Chains A and B, each alone.
Chain A
Amino acid sequence: MAAAESPKTDLSPTTRHPSRFDSLLRALMVAPLAVALVGSCQSTPAGKAAIDSPDPVHSGPVHLPPPQLGLPPDPVHGQKEEVKGFAVPKPPLSADFWPCSQCHDPDDKVNRTRRELKDEHTNIHLHHDEANRWCLDCHDATNRDFLHLASGVTITFDESYRLCGQCHGTQYRDWKSGIHGKRTGMWNGDKQYLLCVHCHNPHSPHFKPLKPLTPPARPETIR
């Protein structure tokens, strides 16, 4: 009887000897973890050695320019409310040319004839609806330190977006709501706007191509 019983019970050991498999399982679970623990304790020197070599590709964390405050109100378009609190930096005017009045004397006689400039400003090539526009459509002839709108209202260079907005109404609308252009700073607080002219050269506004940064690593190079 006993001989007949023992093979039966041994075939289903879990029912008869739960402790054997318990301890086996426990041992199997603990042993690799313990090995991993020992491994992790010793792995730090290798990690330290790996971080010593420099990496030429990385461009570094993003550094923001300090925000500048003060956007002039726009009485014509009543946009005072819409852009209140947003900072606009100064337009990127070169000190070599600005202020314009250092050369353009207000008392000088102005030649208002549309023509190609041969003596001065030869580096400016107008690629901005050049068939229909020329300098004095935007620059004010009587006071060169100002621009003027189509209505004749003079504006400062800080407000040049109003001038651009006369033709590019959808972009002007989107810029005011933050869709066109770039905002930096705080998503829930002080923001810094860029003027149109920070990204678009007003004389040649098409965005210039850039060299792309390095492409991602192909999977086969990973090891």
Chain B
Amino acid sequence: MLTSKPETEPCCEPSGGCSHAKSTETLVSPETLSLNRRNFMKHSAIVAGAAAAAACSSEDLEKFTQRRLRELSQPELKALLIRLEADYKKKFGKDVDVRATPAAEGVKFGYALDLSRCIGCRRCVHACVGENNQSRPNPEGKHNNPIQWIKVLEMEKEKGIDLSDANPYYNPEEVPREGHFYMPVQCQQCENPPCVKVCPVQATWKEPDGIVVIDYEWCIGCRYCMVACPYGARRFNWAEPHLPVDQLNTNTHVLGNRPRPRGVVEKCTFCIQRTRAGRYPACVEICPVGARKFGNMLDPKSEIRAVLESKRVFILKEDLNTQPKFFYFFGI
């Protein structure tokens, strides 16, 4: 460091009157050949940049320079949706409908789950996977990273709700098992979401209708949100998601169930592609015991309001002030 001459020294300037100035004109001068770290990095960066530009099409550059979804104007958003649809067509060979339906006015989604009805059959878990294009099990493949957004916990009636003693891997012949009850846990769609607070790139936020969503284009996969979430509701794509074409749900939302890339976090969005179109979430519709209730909390005639007004509901980890919009109750 001390012996090398900095470039900014006057004697090395071409305009300078010293003897060095002449030698710089020839290509074989020792100055230009000297491979110091700065020159190396500079040149390698240029070479790498040029190689990247040469290897990638304008589409890839577009992807690389993609801005965050919330900042996009309507035409830009439309262009993004078209690009995503083209990408999926290329990848899956199927027409995938990617929508960006915005939140409706005067809607705040709420969810209630009747713990006295739930029998732990996991129909909701698998309906959710089918609806939301999660990564499927792939035991023989190179990568096996099955993702489920709902986790059903089995607990003992004698002990009550004890999350530290819950078993999500139960697999008896028949459920419900004697002396046990079941508690499905998924994203609680907090009004005060800790996951949103910790995101260093603001790739996750709460929508006006209360759904906490993720911008998959902008998520850097740091998984801070997973650490911050007290409900363990977020999942990470450790590997390239395994999604067979015949199991692809082509009705998608840009903030919800569109196929995700590797390295991003995902979570329950109350089936945003369905609920923003007025339909019930998949888990509500599949539940064989009708334990799951969903609706607009601002509509006095909705069933979620009926639950909130007539049942003693509770929320999970109330002391953390996350203010979930997912309520549990005992209907009997």
Contacts and interface: CB of A to CB of B under 8 A. Distances in A.
Interface of A: 6-7, 10, 16-17, 19-20, 23-24, 26-28, 30-31, 33-35, 37-38, 40-44, 46-48, 50-55, 57-62, 64, 174, 177-189, 194, 199, 207, 209-218, 221-223
B287 interface: yes
A178 B145 contact: no
9 contacts: A24-B37, A34-B52, A37-B55, A50-B143, A51-B92, A178-B303, A187-B302, A210-B174, A215-B169
Contact of A215 (B170, B176, B280): B170
B25 to A, nearest CB: 23
B282 A62 contact: yes
Contacts of B42: 23, 27
Contacts of B56: 37-38, 41
A37 B143 contact: no
B156 interface: no
Contacts of A186: 278-280
Given A31-B44, A51-B92, A209 B174 contact: yes
Interface in B96-123: 114, 119-123
B122 A212 contact: yes
A50 B175 contact: no
A187 B238 contact: no
B161 interface: no
Contacts of B155: none
Nearest to B292: A182
Contact of A179 (B51, B146, B175, B303): B303
B130 A30 contact: no
Nearest to B249: A61
Contacts of B41: 23-24, 27-28, 31
A174 to B, nearest CB: 7
Given A54-B244, A55-B138, A59-B127, A184 B285 contact: yes
Contacts of B130: 58-62
Contacts of B175: 209-212
A22 to B, nearest CB: 10
Contact of B171 (A16, A24, A194, A212): A212
B160 interface: no
A211 B120 CA distance: 9
B278 A174 contact: no
Contacts of B146: 216-217, 222
Nearest to B311: A179
B174 A62 contact: no
B188 interface: no
Contacts of A60: 130, 247
A187 B284 CA distance: 10
A54 B172 CA distance: 26
A122 to B, nearest CB: 26
A4 B78 CA distance: 63
Interface in B118-175: 119-123, 125-127, 129-131, 136-146, 148, 151, 168-175
A207 B332 CA distance: 14
A19 B7 CA distance: 10
Contacts of B169: 215-216, 218
Contact of B287 (A17, A54, A64, A182): A182
A76 to B, nearest CB: 22
A215 B122 contact: yes
A30 B290 CA distance: 54
A50 B262 CA distance: 12
A6 B2 contact: yes
Nearest to B238: A222
Contacts of A178: 293, 295, 302-303, 306
Contact of B280 (A6, A50, A185): A185
A66 B238 CA distance: 39
A39 to B, nearest CB: 10
A12 B60 CA distance: 40
Interface in B271-298: 275, 278-280, 282, 284-290, 293-296
A188 B288 contact: no
B15 interface: no
A162 to B, nearest CB: 19
B60 A223 contact: no
A57 B171 contact: no
A213 B122 contact: yes
B144 to A, nearest CB: 6
Interface in B51-97: 51-52, 55-57, 60, 63-64, 90-92
Contacts of A59: 126-127, 130
A93 B44 CA distance: 77
Contact of A26 (B45, B239, B275, B286): B45
B121 A212 contact: yes
B242 interface: yes
Contacts of B44: 27, 31
Q: Which 5 A-B pairs have the closest CB atoms?
A: A178-B303, A182-B290, A27-B41, A27-B45, A209-B174
A33 B45 CA distance: 10
B315 interface: no
Interface string B284-324: 11111110011110010011001100110000000000000
